[in-house]
A = this chain, B = another copy of it.
C-alpha cells in the first residue's frame, strides 16, 4: 500500500467520523503507529486535519465549535420577535431570567405599557431601560449563580399575583420529561410562576429541545406555547405539536 493511498484513507475516515485514532489506523492499514503518526503529521502540515494526542480530529469540527460557543444571538433574537407579539398593553407579565428573556425585553416596542414582574436581577436591570412599562421585583434571598431571588417568601408573594403571561427562558425541555432544571430553589420559584399565570410560554433555542436535567419543573402539557427559532412546521417540533402545544 502506497503512502498516498494511506493518506486518502485517513482523509476519508476523518470526513466520515470527524476523528481517527492512531491505534485504529495502524491496525486497519497494517503499518506501525510510527508511520501513521508521520502520515498525520504530513496531513496536518498540509492543513487537512488537526493532530491531537491519540490521533487526529477534523478541522471543520474544531472551528464550528469555537464559533458556536458564542451565544447563539440570532436565534435568540428571532425567538424574541415571536414572543413580543403576545404582549399587549395592560397585561401583567412574569419573566424569568436568561439571555433569551433579555433579548425579548430589548425587542419590546418603547410605547408598550405593561406591568412586568420578575425575580431575576439582570432581567430587572434590562427592564429598567424600558421607558413606559412598570417593573416589579419580587425580592428575597438572592441565589448567586442564578442571580435571582428564591425562597418561600418569593413563592408566597407570587401566589398573590394573577399574571396574564409567564415567559420562561427554558433550560431544558423534553416531550417526556417536560421542563427541567438543575437547582431545587430555582425549580420552586418557576413552579410558582407557572401556577400563577394564565398562560405559560417556553422560549427555547432548538439546541435545548429534547434535553433533560435533574429536576422537574412541570410536565409538558402545562406549557401552553413553545417558541423556538425554527419554523413552526419544522419536523423537530412535531412531538410538541402532538402534545397540544401551540408552537410559534
Question: Which residues of A are in contact with B by a Cβ distance under 8 Å?
Answer: 2-5, 8, 11-12, 14-19, 21, 24, 48, 50, 52-55, 57, 60-63, 65, 68-72, 98-99, 121-122, 124-125, 127-128, 131, 134-142, 144-145, 147, 149, 171-172, 182, 207-208, 211, 213-214
Taken together as a complex, chains A and B put the C-alpha atoms of A5 and B24 apart, in Å, by: 17
Q: Across the interface, do B122 and A149 meet the contact criterion of CB distance under 8 Å?
A: no
Q: Across the interface, do B128 and A142 meet the contact criterion of CB distance under 8 Å?
A: yes
Taken together as a complex, chains A and B put the C-alpha atoms of A14 and B72 apart, in Å, by: 12
Taken together as a complex, chains A and B put the C-alpha atoms of A134 and B149 apart, in Å, by: 12
8 Å CB contact of A15 from B8, B68, B127, B131: B68
Question: With A52-B2, A71-B60 as given contacts, are A8 and B65 in contact (CB-CB < 8 Å)?
Answer: yes
Taken together as a complex, chains A and B put the C-alpha atoms of A69 and B47 apart, in Å, by: 11
Question: With A2-B54, A2-B55, A17-B213 as given contacts, are A147 and B134 in contact (CB-CB < 8 Å)?
Answer: no
Min distance, Cβ A93 to any Cβ of chain B, angstroms: 14
Cβ-closest chain B residue relative to A141: B136
Q: Across the interface, do A69 and B48 meet the contact criterion of CB distance under 8 Å?
A: yes
Cβ-closest chain B residue relative to A136: B141
For A19, list chain B residues within 8 Å (CB). 2, 5, 145, 182
For A172, list chain B residues within 8 Å (CB). 17
Min distance, Cβ A50 to any Cβ of chain B, angstroms: 8
For A18, list chain B residues within 8 Å (CB). 98, 171
Taken together as a complex, chains A and B put the C-alpha atoms of A147 and B64 apart, in Å, by: 13
Between-chain CB contacts (< 8 Å), 15 pairs:
A2-B54, A4-B57, A11-B65, A11-B69, A15-B69, A18-B171, A19-B182, A21-B182, A48-B69, A60-B70, A63-B147, A125-B125, A128-B142, A137-B140, A137-B149
Min distance, Cβ A120 to any Cβ of chain B, angstroms: 11
Q: Across the interface, do A208 and B16 meet the contact criterion of CB distance under 8 Å?
A: yes
8 Å CB contact of A149 from B3, B52, B139, B214: B139
Question: With A2-B54, A19-B5, A121-B125 as given contacts, are A139 and B141 in contact (CB-CB < 8 Å)?
Answer: no
Q: Across the interface, do A15 and B207 meet the contact criterion of CB distance under 8 Å?
A: yes
For A63, list chain B residues within 8 Å (CB). 122, 125, 147
Question: With A207-B15, A211-B16 as given contacts, are A52 and B141 in contact (CB-CB < 8 Å)?
Answer: no
For A213, list chain B residues within 8 Å (CB). 17
Min distance, Cβ A36 to any Cβ of chain B, angstroms: 15
